[in-house]
């Protein structure tokens, strides 16, 4: 086919740009298996264009898959309304975003059997899913999740932050939970496709971010205690604002010294779903007393800091920043890892070690890190009835400096010298 004829079948939509790397791709209720209802579909090949170099792969979306072969391993499925739907921002109040679910247009799904490999992923209309009541994830908690964000730049393009790190962490967690996992390329490509399919839900610059939630779960039916026979990898997204109701104002924590989040040899070091259900009792009690969240101690000595319910913790004294070492009971946060690198690049000494709770009494600053919160200053910590405050004017100087560098990098406002961002270019 002549090139002009090929171009005539294409509808230019977007291309994908990674300034530092490009990832090639990739009937009773008791017996109802995982399924999703979505409207009549047209097979959609992720966009393809004519030029490839080391750093840029430009594409234009095609209307029919039989006309141009997809460059990705996994074909996607989109509705006929995709192009017009994605052409403008969603009509919501961007200035009033909280951290809650707003249903978007599409989700991504991919399956495999136990001992097999993931393949044939597809985009589907966002909606409810159905699981066999005997699914492994429902009966035995065989599930993992990840969290990452996409930001819209001033030029309209979209930035992902270190998605390959989430892919690697999911693979590590899957090994602990006896689950197959997507490859890093499959994971990153699925994230890209999902974000681009929902690009109208990425908030305008400075208004928030698109939260991306990948799930890996044992969806196959299993009655006896054993790994599930089938697994589902799913990604959905939602535009979000600040995680804590205080926004970027200081949060107030209470130290929990009786209930514990994780134990040595357990699953505290992986992002399994059960880790989060275990903190709800202490967290609910803390919030009922007016605290923002709970800071947990180790379960052996009951005196060393571990983490907040869904965040890592940092303690500042002078030019030294201390954070609990990763020893199997603490989640290796990607924001944590990034803040450590940023802090060291800014001349701070960072120590990863056992941090006694008593050091909170003499700290200059305390802050939390996580995908949802990014960096959150701690205004006070209460331990055994004693409250220690760290100022009332928002960020401490150190937390403010690190927050500014990291968020400006995530939003594309400064050069990415760390080689952490992946850019999705919107035409």
**pLDDT at position 8:** 35
- 271 noted as active-site residue: yes
Q: Which of 271, 302, 317, 386 is catalytic?
A: 271
- What CATH number has the domain bearing residue 386? 3.20.10.10
Domain assignment present for 83: no
Query: Stretch 348-366: mean pLDDT, rounded?
Result: 97
197 and 176 both lie in a single domain: yes
How many domains does the chain fold into? 2
Distance CA 224, CA 139 (A): 10
Domain end: 187, 212, 240, which one?
240
306 and 389 both lie in a single domain: yes
pLDDT at 25 over 50: no
Where are the strands (E) in 115-265, listed by range?
119-125, 143-145, 148-152, 158-161, 209-218, 230-240, 251-256
Domain end: 213, 240, 267, which one?
240
**pLDDT at position 24:** 36
How many Cα atoms are found within 13 Å in the side-chain-facing hemisphere of 408?
A: 11
296 and 371 both lie in a single domain: yes
339 and 377 both lie in a single domain: yes
Give the confidence band of 80 by pLDDT, cuts at 50, 70, 90.
very low
pLDDT tens-digit map of 110-142: 999 999 999 989 999 999 999 999 999 999 999
Query: Stretch 319-341: mean pLDDT, rounded?
Result: 97
Query: Which structure tokens are listed for 367?
Result: 């802050």
156 and 300 both lie in a single domain: no
**pLDDT at position 120:** 85
Domain assignment present for 199: yes
Domain assignment present for 47: no
221 and 195 both lie in a single domain: yes
318 and 376 both lie in a single domain: yes
The per-residue pLDDT of the chain, averaged, comes to 83
Query: Stretch 300-327: mean pLDDT, rounded?
Result: 97
229 and 318 both lie in a single domain: no
120 and 230 both lie in a single domain: yes
188 and 280 both lie in a single domain: no
Give the confidence band of 249 by pLDDT, cuts at 50, 70, 90.
confident
Domain assignment present for 31: no
Query: Stretch 318-330: mean pLDDT, rounded?
Result: 96
pLDDT at 396 over 70: yes
Query: Stretch 179-186: mean pLDDT, rounded?
Result: 98
Domain assignment present for 33: no
266 and 228 both lie in a single domain: no
- What CATH number has the domain bearing residue 196? 3.30.470.10
Domain end: 204, 221, 240, which one?
240
Give the confidence band of 247 by pLDDT, cuts at 50, 70, 90.
low
**pLDDT at position 392:** 66
- Burial string for 36-73 (b: 16+ CB within 10 Å, else e) reads eebeeeeebbbbbbeeeeeeebbbbbbeebeebebbbb
**Are the CB atoms for 262 and 329 separated by under 8 Å?**
yes
Summarize the chain as % helix, strand, coil (round to 5): 25, 30, 45
Burial class (CB in 10 A: 0-12, 13-18, 19+), 321: buried
Domain assignment present for 345: yes
pLDDT at 3 over 60: no
């Amino acid at each position: 086919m002549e090139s002009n004829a090929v171009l005539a079948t294409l509808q230019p939509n977007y291309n994908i740009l990674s300034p530092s790397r490009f990832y090639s791709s990739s009937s009773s209720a008791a017996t109802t298996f995982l399924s999703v209802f979505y409207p009549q579909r047209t097979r959609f090949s992720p966009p393809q264009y004519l030029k490839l170099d080391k750093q840029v792969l430009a594409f234009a979306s095609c209307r029919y898959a039989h006309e141009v072969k997809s460059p990705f391993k996994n074909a996607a499925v989109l509705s006929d309304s995709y192009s017009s739907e994605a052409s403008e921002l969603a009509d919501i109040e961007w200035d009033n975003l909280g951290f809650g679910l707003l249903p978007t247009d599409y989700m991504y799904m991919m399956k495999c059997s136990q001992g097999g490999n993931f393949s044939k992923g597809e985009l589907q209309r966002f909606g409810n899913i159905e699981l066999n009541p005997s699914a492994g994830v429902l009966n035995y908690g065989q599930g993992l999740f990840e969290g990452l964000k996409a930001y819209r730049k001033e030029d309209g393009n979209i930035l992902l932050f270190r998605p390959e790190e989430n892919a690697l962490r999911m693979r590590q967690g899957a090994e602990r939970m006896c689950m197959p996992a997507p490859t890093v390329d499959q994971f990153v490509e699925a994230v890209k496709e999902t974000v681009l399919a929902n690009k109208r839900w990425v908030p305008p610059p400075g208004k928030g971010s698109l939260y991306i939630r990948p799930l890996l779960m044992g969806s196959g039916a299993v009655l006896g205690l054993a790994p599930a026979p089938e697994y589902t990898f799913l990604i959905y997204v939602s535009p979000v604002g600040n995680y804590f109701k205080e926004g970027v104002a200081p949060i107030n924590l209470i130290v929990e010294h009786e209930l514990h989040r994780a134990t040595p040899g357990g699953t505290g070091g992986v992002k399994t779903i059960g880790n989060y259900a275990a903190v709800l009792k202490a967290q609910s009690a803390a919030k009922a007393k007016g605290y923002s969240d709970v800071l947990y101690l180790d379960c052996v000595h009951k005196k060393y800091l571990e983490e907040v319910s869904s965040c890592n913790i940092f303690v500042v004294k002078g030019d030294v920043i201390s954070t609990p070492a990763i020893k199997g009971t603490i989640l290796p946060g990607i924001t944590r890892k990034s803040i450590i690198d940023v802090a060291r690049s800014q001349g701070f000494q960072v120590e990863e070690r056992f941090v006694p709770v008593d050091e909170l009494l003499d700290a200059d600053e305390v802050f939390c890190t996580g995908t949802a919160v990014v960096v959150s200053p701690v205004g006070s910590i209460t331990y055994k009835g004693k409250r220690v405050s760290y100022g009332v004017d928002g960020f401490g100087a150190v937390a403010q400096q690190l927050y500014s560098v990291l968020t400006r990098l995530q939003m594309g406002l400064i050069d990415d010298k760390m080689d952490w961002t992946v850019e999705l270019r919107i035409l």
